[in-house]
Chain A
Amino acid sequence: MKKEFDHGTAADVSREDLDAVMTSLEPDQLSFEKAKHHCPRRKLTGVEMLLFWALRIYLVFMFGVVIYQVWTGAR
């Protein structure tokens, strides 16, 4: 039977070839896995919104406290 392709031996495959294969393969594999797991946007409930905003206000307030401490420390 006629051999259609000459695949060569393992030793014929250069490091550069392997690198090229890996570089093109890995992002594709990642996007394939991601595509299988769809993560659509969800609507937040009232309680969740309240929690998000409460913690956001807490963060802003506490940053103010840190700035106040730096200011008093500098004085």
Chain B
Amino acid sequence: MLWLLIGPGVLVMLGENDGPSMLSYAATGARFGIGFFLPFVVLTFCMACVVQEMTVRLGAATHRGHAELIFDRFGPFWGWFSMADLMVGNFLTLVTEFIAIRAGLGFFGVRPAVAVLGALCVLFVALMTHRYWTWERITLGAAMFNLVFVPVALLSHPHWGAVSRALFTWKPLPGGLNQETVLILLADIGATVTPWMLFFQQSAIADKGLTTRDIRFGRFDTVLGAALATLAAAATILATAPLFTHHMTAANFEAAEFAQALQPFVGRWGSALFALGIFEAGMVAAVTISTSSAYAFGEVARRPHSLNLPFKQGKSFYLVLLAEAAAAAGLVLIPGIPLVYIVLLVNVIAVLAMPPALLFLYMLVNDREIMGELVSPIWANMLALGVVIVLIGAGLLFGVSVIAPNALAALGGR
């Protein structure tokens, strides 16, 4: 039964361990080591669990996707606002997924155009199953490959005493607060909680047909996904931490360069696995994020929107999905793009877009008229409020770091 019901939670969490996320974790390990960021990443996944659990209840109780529910309950004005946030965020994220695909395969000498076109073909084949169940199992299998970062971390021979000390003592932020650390902080938060996850998991739960009786399985699915994703994220930080301990400058690394720089520490196989992991992270997320956009578009445009539909019946659903992916793929082929900078900024944008999305979610999940007895208990609301405060605080800190970097000194920075 559990095997039948797991899926959306694991998919959304491993899908969020996407190209930009893995590159953010790699940059984190290489620039700051494990002391502060290992427990920080565990905390961000706890935040993701709190948020995604709400979408499980909402999807199972209403049998509606997130965008559709916002339209029905708050009207088209706010519905289109949230839709625009999602579409812009998803498109920018998709661009970075194709950057990861291009960079990961670049390590093996694959030309950018071939890598990007190949990825589009994989996306197309995954859709042609015309069955949510088959699509989910294929994507789930591919998402599990995210754990490839675990053997890479083991190959880097981490000092387990230092790892457990980092996890249980939470060292201060290395270098204090400055523009660079604030950017990495936000990028790591944006690597775990983003608006598309809300839309995707709720729509997938509705598409899969989960009911209120299945909520406990949905919760387990979400926690399992978060645990697996935390493992992969921590492994990535551990894998690149030798670059920090050996004082190697990683500020201007592009994705494939991380893999090349790691070669002395993890060997040829370790570097190859790292590059494959970056490719896989981009590929799985390209599938899930473009699907999330297509679901949302179908819901608000009142067009058929399901992975169970044949192409003819779900033409607009599949066309939106493929057109968005193709446009993002095309942009990546522009030569001379500063890859890591774009990747970090996209994660920052995800954090900034999260509070308005969370307000919709918070109001819907506390709406007794549609949720009945499944409204959030007080403790869940307190946790959700904590997540919103952390996200707004992080966003404002980023604003201060950009507009008045010297003011960070007053907050203990340098």
Report which A residues bind B (CB closer than 8 A). Answer: 22-23, 26-27, 29-30, 33-34, 36-37, 39-42, 44, 48, 51-52, 55-56, 58-59, 61-63, 65-66, 68-70, 72-73
Verify A58–B392 contact, CB threshold 8 A. yes
Interface centre among A27, A63, A69 (most CB of B within 10 A): A69
Q: How far is the CA of A37 from the CA of B306 in the complex (A)?
A: 19
Q: How far is the CA of A66 from the CA of B363 in the complex (A)?
A: 28
A-B interface, 3 closest residue pairs, ranked by CB to CB distance from nearest: A33-B63, A55-B356, A62-B352
Verify A65–B209 contact, CB threshold 8 A. no
Verify B399–A37 contact, CB threshold 8 A. no
Verify A34–B209 contact, CB threshold 8 A. no
Verify A41–B75 contact, CB threshold 8 A. yes
Interface of B is mostly: helix
Verify A37–B63 contact, CB threshold 8 A. yes
**B-chain residues with CB within 8 Å of residue A61 when the two chains form the complex:** 399
Verify B74–A66 contact, CB threshold 8 A. no
Q: How far is the CA of A40 from the CA of B367 in the complex (A)?
A: 12
Q: How far is the CA of A44 from the CA of B79 in the complex (A)?
A: 13
Q: How far is the CA of A18 from the CA of B359 in the complex (A)?
A: 43
Q: How far is the CA of A23 from the CA of B69 in the complex (A)?
A: 24
Known: A23-B308, A55-B356, A59-B352. A39 touches B72 (CB 8 A): yes
Known: A37-B61, A69-B402, A70-B345. A22 touches B85 (CB 8 A): no
Verify B209–A58 contact, CB threshold 8 A. no
Verify B356–A59 contact, CB threshold 8 A. yes
**A-chain residues with CB within 8 Å of residue B369 when the two chains form the complex:** 40, 42
Verify B395–A44 contact, CB threshold 8 A. no
Report which B residues bind A (CB closer than 8 A). Answer: 61-64, 69, 72-75, 78, 81, 85, 130-132, 206-207, 209, 211, 304, 306, 308-310, 341, 345, 348-349, 352-353, 355-356, 359, 363, 367, 369-370, 392, 395, 398-399, 402-403
Verify B74–A62 contact, CB threshold 8 A. no
Verify B85–A59 contact, CB threshold 8 A. yes
Q: How far is the CA of A60 from the CA of B304 in the complex (A)?
A: 32
Verify A58–B402 contact, CB threshold 8 A. no
Verify A66–B349 contact, CB threshold 8 A. yes
Q: How far is the CA of A34 from the CA of B205 in the complex (A)?
A: 13
**A-chain residues with CB within 8 Å of residue B399 when the two chains form the complex:** 61-62, 65
Q: How far is the CA of A59 from the CA of B348 in the complex (A)?
A: 12
Verify A68–B402 contact, CB threshold 8 A. yes
**A-chain residues with CB within 8 Å of residue B304 when the two chains form the complex:** 27
**B73, B207, B355, B403: the one within 8 Å of A30 (CB):** B207
Verify B403–A68 contact, CB threshold 8 A. yes
Verify B211–A33 contact, CB threshold 8 A. yes
**A-chain residues with CB within 8 Å of residue B209 when the two chains form the complex:** 26, 29-30, 33
Tell me how far the C-beta of B345 lies from the nearest C-beta in chain A, rounded to whole angstroms: 6
Task: Determine the residue in chain B with the shortest Cβ distance to A49.
Answer: B78
Known: A23-B308, A27-B308, A30-B207. A48 touches B363 (CB 8 A): yes
27 A–B contacts, CB within 8 A, in A order = A23-B310, A26-B132, A30-B63, A30-B207, A33-B63, A37-B61, A37-B62, A37-B63, A37-B370, A39-B62, A39-B72, A39-B370, A40-B369, A41-B74, A42-B367, A44-B74, A56-B356, A58-B356, A59-B352, A59-B353, A59-B355, A59-B356, A61-B399, A62-B352, A65-B398, A66-B345, A69-B345
Q: How far is the CA of A64 from the CA of B306 in the complex (A)?
A: 36
Q: How far is the CA of A63 from the CA of B367 in the complex (A)?
A: 30
Q: How far is the CA of A70 from the CA of B74 in the complex (A)?
A: 34
